[in-house]
Structure formats: C-alpha cells, structure tokens
Amino acid sequence: MPGRRRSGDLLHLAASPDRAGPDRPPAPGHLNSSRRKKTMNPHVITAMPVPFTTTGALDLPAYRRAVTAVDPHVDGVLVAGTTGEFPALDDDERLELFAATRDLIGPERTIAHLGHASTRQVIRLARATVDLGLRRSALITPYYLPTDPAGVVDFYREVLDAVPGLELFVYLFPERTGLDVSPSVLTEILALPGIVGVKLSGAASETVADYAGVLRSGQLLYSGNDATLPDVMAAGGHGVVSGVSSLFPTVFAALSAALCEGRGHDRIQSQAAELVALTGANIRFLKAGLAARDGGDWASRMSLPTPNSETVNQIHDAVASFT
C-alpha cells in the first residue's frame, strides 16, 4: 500500500513515496489553466465523522484514534463538515476537534469547517480558529433562509474582510443549503482575496468540469463524491473530500497513487465504488465500521438512518478485509 504522507502545505505537498512525480499541484499563484489539464497528483481529503457517546458527549479519544488511523494515507482532514454533523456541534466542541486534528496531523493538513447560517457566527468561529494557528478552512454557503447571488458573494467577502489571512475553500451543497450557486456566481467568489478553492457536494459535484473552468490560478477543486476520483481528475479537479476514506483510507490512497503513477486503476476503483455503495453518504453506516475498527460508541446526535443487522455485518466484513 502507499506510504505515509509527509506533513506540509496542503496546497504544495512535498514529494513522498506515494506522491512522487513532477505534476504535484503547486501553491496558489503557480497553477495555470494549461497545467490543470495535465494529470495531477490526486488529493484525498478525509471528511471525518465525529464520535459521540451513547449519552451524547463528544468522544475525543475515539476521534483521535480515527484521525491517527488515516494520517499515513491521506492528504488532509476536513473537520466538522457535513459528515462531522456540524449543526449538532457547539463552537467550543468544534474548536476542540480543530485543535485535536492540528496536534495529530499538523495545521497545514487540517481544514476547519466554519459553517454557520450567519456571518456573525462564522466570523466569531473563524477568529477563534485562527487563534489556534489554523488558516486552512472551508465555509458552506448560507443556508435555511434564502438569499440571492449578491448575498452569497457578500457572505464570503464579509468573512474574509473580518478575518484576514484565512485560506478558504467555498463549500457548495445545494441539497443541504437550498442555494444553487452557478459557475458564474462562483467566479465572483473565487475572485475574492483569500479564496483558495471550492468543494462540491451533491448536485454540484455532477458538473465538475463547469466549475473547474472558472478556477483562478492556483485554486483547487475537490468533489465530495467519493466514488469519482478518476472522473474528477479528468474533468480538471484535484481530488476528493471523502467520508468513506475515514473508514477505508488505504483503498483511496492506493487509487490515488495508481492514478498519479499512470498505472491501471480499474480494480482499485471498483473496490472504492463498492465500499462507497456499502457505506455511502450515510454517517451511521460509517460509524458502524469505525466503532468496529477503532472502538467507542460512535453514536450520533442527529436523526439519521440506522443500518440493519445484515448491513452492519457486511460493513464489519469489509473492515476486516481492508484494514
């Protein structure tokens, strides 16, 4: 299997045994459109679920075990995103998770999700996050109350103006937010100083090429569709933000390495697709596997579908096979 990632700038990764080659995505300001069309080093960013006890308490020891398990295999961790049940977390809990991830894998590989419904809440959390030494961050669009394109652009502008130094990924998830941000509107957001890329989830991830076409020099595009890494790269993207990689990091690392090295990847891609089909976007399905692999309750705070016993057994079998 691929070897350990080296710590370092997520946007300018140093060469490592499983990331060799001249076409590693460079830092912002050095990636032009012609270079994006080449075969790039595919990034795998883990969207980490957050474990709770059966009484609803945050289980930091279980979280640390899970981050430690993926550390050798992935390029970074997205903390407290959708897969992390961020609406159910208090800000102090999010900051605890940010700090724990930073301590385990370093600040350059930690992406702190700052999502809230209002700029006031986002700015408060963003300032506290920067105080932890973390600048890499993601921010989902406003949600619940509707807004117009100008309101979306202003949302990001106000946050970046209030918290200088943020390195922010725009996070689009139309099914969860009620906002469908078009490539033309994204173009305006990407022009703001401090925006380093975009993460596409749900329906937005089905049109990667359209969004990749409006990236500025040095900006990155990640898809939240775990099963489509080869397609994302072919469409001009740079990798995936994968919840399933929290449970099966070696499979996604192997797929990324095969793509990077130009080796046949059909078998590995098939394995990844099967694992995504098994655990999918369902957080409790992932947590059933994480509890088996790492220990802990891995309960959820939010109301989510629960896998039946047959599915749990299949997940446990997959964990035994791939970990």
Residues spanned by the domain of 195: 33-322
Name the domain count of the chain.
1
d(CA 184, CA 312): 43
Tell me if 237 is assigned to some domain.
Answer: yes
Q: At what angle do helices 283-294 and 309-322 cross, to 10 degrees?
A: 50
Decide if 126 contacts 149 (C-beta within 8 A).
no
pLDDT single digits (tens) 294-317: 999 999 999 999 999 999 999 999
- Per-residue pLDDT, 323: 79
Active site annotation includes 171: yes
Q: Is residue 89 included in any domain, yes or no?
A: yes
Catalytic residue among 63, 156, 199, 222: 199
Query: What one-character-per-residue DSSP string does 247-299 give?
Result: T-HHHHHHHHHHHHHT---HHHHHHHHHHHHHHTT-HHHHHHHHHHHH-S--B
Give the active site residue among 143, 144, 156, 171. 171
pLDDT at 6 exceeding the cut of 50: no
User: Quick check: 28 pLDDT over 60?
Assistant: no
Convert the pLDDT of each residue in 37-47 to its tens digit.
Answer: 344 689 999 99
Residue-wise pLDDT for 255-309, tens only, equals: 999 999 999 999 999 999 999 999 977 999 999 999 999 999 999 999 999 999 9
Specify the pTM. 0.89
To which residue do tokens 């989510």 refer? 304
Phi, psi of 36 (to 5 degrees): -65, -25
Confidence of residue 31 (pLDDT cuts 50, 70, 90): very low
Determine which helix (DSSP H) or strand (DSSP E) holds 139, and give its type and residue range: strand 136-140
Confidence check: pLDDT of 233 > 70: yes
Residue 25 has pLDDT above 70, yes or no: no
In sign, the C-alpha dihedral spanning 321, 83, 51, 304 is negative
**Contact by Cβ (8 Å): 244, 279:** yes
Mean per-residue pLDDT over the chain, rounded: 90
Kindly report the number of other CB atoms within 10 A of residue 295's CB atom.
13
**Lowest model confidence (mean pLDDT) among 20-24, 160-164, 245-249, 264-268:** 20-24
* pLDDT computed for residue 304 by the predictor: 96
State how far the alpha carbon of 63 is from the alpha carbons of 60, 97, 105, 295, in Å.
5, 8, 13, 10
What's residue 37's pLDDT? Answer: 37
In a domain, 24, yes or no: no
Q: Give catalytic status of residue 38 as yes or no.
A: no
Average pLDDT over residues 187-196: 99
CATH (domain of 144): 3.20.20.70
The verdict on residue 162 lying in a domain is yes
Residues 294 and 48: their CA atoms lie apart, in Å, by 13
The answer to whether residue 190 sits within a structural domain is yes
Q: How far is CA 302 from CA 101, 242, 282, 292, in A?
A: 22, 20, 12, 21
Q: Bridge partners of 110?
A: 77
> Which residues on adjacent β-strands are paired with residue 223?
200, 240
Please provide the distance, in angstroms rounded to a whole number, between the alpha carbons at the two ends of the chain.
11
Mean pLDDT on 52-81: 99
Instruction: With respect to residue 23, please indicate whether it lies within any of the assigned structural domains.
Output: no
pLDDT at 11: 45
Give percent of the chain above pLDDT 70: 88
Q: Is residue 134 part of a domain?
A: yes
Structure-token match 């270079």, residue found: 35
| 53 located within any domain | yes
State yes or no: pLDDT of 27 exceeds 90: no
Q: What are phi and psi of 112, to 5 degrees?
A: -90, 120
